[in-house]
Amino acid sequence: MKSGLAFAAALTIAIPLIPGLAMAQPGSAAKEPITLSRDQQPKADRPTLNRLSKEAKAQGISLKQALDKYAAKELKNNPSIQGDMPDGPVPDPTIKVDGIPFSELIDLNRYAQSEKISFEEAIDRYAWSPAINPLASRLRSEFAEVIADIAIVDEGRGVRIGFKGEVPAKALELAKTLPVEVRLFPGRGFSEAELQAAREAALLSLHRSGKVASTVGRYNAETGEVNITVRLKEKPSDDAARSRAVTSIQPSAPDNPAIKINIQLDDNLLLRRTDKYIRGGGLLNGSNNCTNGFNVISSTGAKGSLTARHCADGSQYYTYRNHSNYDTDTTTLSRWFRAQDYDLARYDSSSTTSMTQTRTFYYDWNLPRYAHDVGTSPVVGQPVCKFGRTTGATCDNITDTNVDISDEDWITDGKTYKGNIVTDDMVDPGDSGGPLYYGNRAWGITSAESYSVFDTSAYFVATDRVNDSTGLGSNWNVWTCPTC
């Protein structure tokens, strides 16, 4: 059994309960939700996929095989439906089927295999899921003071949205646009913004105590609990010492009494480092091997490669290498910038190299695709996939968003790395820096993993933090091709 918080190189959380420490109760009791049943919501219209599914069964082939045949025929009859490919060709069609990008259907098929469900069921459950993100972004923008909770629930068949007080009428109307059951909960008693502020204040208090080596700070937007796992610099000798230690570092109660702070000790919370085109997902070979994430571009047109900062802390230079089918050359990438608050770093290629950055990334071995856009407002329950040089391509659901992690032993200067998307553990050392994606959307950069009897999680820096002032700066963004 592995134990530790490992930078993907990857974060670990073994969470022993503290004897005598009463767990805080969740936030104030909510009122009955407003339920928009699936029958009331818009219907997903997928005539082509339904037809192909029936034809596949009649022919004794898989839906994926039927889709491949369909795409080949469509492209032969109408080549103009293929998207632009300014950085060279990619092997998969860049078309849409019933409005769903072919790349997302590939990922849904892999997700189905991971979850041991049929491809058809994965489509029924999750093909709609990208629609949640613009809705979540709008809710978080227009109702920042009252939005508390947004999540995909019931294995993709529903959405949960919580509010501090009453449900705004406009929010209810927006929820009616989703093709699944939506339940809107009034009366949470707290907002997502208040949860984030309470977590930040608690983490600051813990680190100022001088007693804390590692932390993982997340919040439960359904219950109003801020849950922080802590490794102390000095391991308590017994249960009584553990209770005294928790009391000595306990942060002040939040201003909002509906929010509770839970501190749990974990003595084992440790971090460890885990063709002529430069692509996301390419191999970074150096003193510590990592994976390239996405390429980035500045407002002046300068380009670079994005990976994890903890990789950059270990290697000033990397030799970049493409996957075997594209391995025509290598080049040296030089560390140029490390983000202040996020596990992000930018590398630049030598001015003499014949290799060039592209808007493509490897979503699996030897299979590149274009990044069309950057994901914003991720929500709990939605599916995502990642690629890394150690574990390849795997998919899972988001379990947490906006999680902060730190470890004095393994992160340079004991930094707190902010803004992480979390899934169940699907990374290993060497995967660090690799791309988190869904279809053609860039969601994150692999940072860390946690593993213990109690918790196995993977942590990814959200790519929408790249242009934060404490990320790479407002003039840098992931380089995307919306028309590809």
- Pair (7, 61) in one structural domain: no
CB count in 10 Å sphere of residue 139: 22
pLDDT averaged over every residue in the chain: 90
Contact assessment for residue 256 and residue 194, using Cβ atoms and an 8 Å cutoff: yes
CA-CA-CA-CA torsion sign (78, 82, 88, 90): negative
- Pair (308, 398) in one structural domain: yes
CB count in 10 Å sphere of residue 216: 32
**Residue 222, domain CATH:** 3.30.70
Q: Which of 238, 265, 292 is the C-terminal boundary of a domain?
A: 265
383: phi then psi, degrees, rounded to nearest 5: -80, 145
Instruction: Output the pLDDT for position 275.
Output: 74
- Pair (359, 426) in one structural domain: yes
Q: Where are the beta strands (DSSP E) in 23-118?
A: 34-36, 96-97, 100-101
Q: Which of 141, 160, 188 is the C-terminal boundary of a domain?
A: 188
How far, in whole angstroms, is CA 425 from its chain's centroid? 12
Q: Is 418 helix (H, G, I), strand (E, B) or coil?
A: strand
Total count of domains within the chain:
3
Query: In Å, how far are 211, 230, 298, 338, 407 from 234, measured between CA atoms?
Result: 7, 11, 44, 30, 14
- Pair (22, 11) in one structural domain: no
CB count in 10 Å sphere of residue 40: 10
- Pair (347, 239) in one structural domain: no
- Pair (131, 278) in one structural domain: no
**Distance between CA atoms of residues 60 and 51, nearest Å:** 14
User: For 86-137, what is each residue's pLDDT tens digit?
Assistant: 999 999 999 999 999 999 999 999 999 999 999 999 999 999 999 999 999 9
Host domain of residue 8 = 1-16+266-484
Contact assessment for residue 350 and residue 427, using Cβ atoms and an 8 Å cutoff: no
Which helix (H) or strand (E) covers residue 309, if one does? helix 309-314
- Pair (325, 247) in one structural domain: no
DSSP 104-170: HHHHHHHHHHHHT--HHHHHHHHTTGGGHHHHHHHHHHHTTTTEEEEEEEGGGTEEEEEESSSPPHH
Query: pLDDT below 50 — which residues of the chain?
Result: 1-4, 9-30, 272-274
- Pair (361, 293) in one structural domain: yes
Q: Which amino acid is at 102?
A: F
Contact residues for 80 (Cβ-Cβ < 8 A; gap 6+): none
Residues above pLDDT 90, as percent of the chain = 81
Residues above pLDDT 70, as percent of the chain = 90
Q: Which of 153, 188, 223 is the C-terminal boundary of a domain?
A: 188
**Distance between CA atoms of residues 331 and 264, nearest Å:** 45
Say what the alpha-carbon torsion angle 450, 456, 461, 462 is, to the nearest 10 degrees.
Answer: -160
**Distance between CA atoms of residues 68 and 45, nearest Å:** 20
User: For 26-61, what is each residue's pLDDT tens digit?
Assistant: 344 447 999 999 999 999 999 999 999 999 999 999
- Pair (178, 213) in one structural domain: no
- Pair (277, 245) in one structural domain: no
Instruction: Output the pLDDT for position 20.
Output: 25
- Pair (339, 440) in one structural domain: yes
Instruction: Output the pLDDT for position 325.
Output: 84
Contact residues for 123 (Cβ-Cβ < 8 A; gap 6+): 46, 49, 100, 105, 108
- Pair (61, 117) in one structural domain: yes
**Distance between CA atoms of residues 305 and 279, nearest Å:** 8
Instruction: Output the pLDDT for position 40.
Output: 92
**Residue 369, domain CATH:** 2.40.10.10
Contact assessment for residue 374 and residue 96, using Cβ atoms and an 8 Å cutoff: no
Helices 63-77 and 102-115: crossing angle in degrees, nearest 10, is: 170
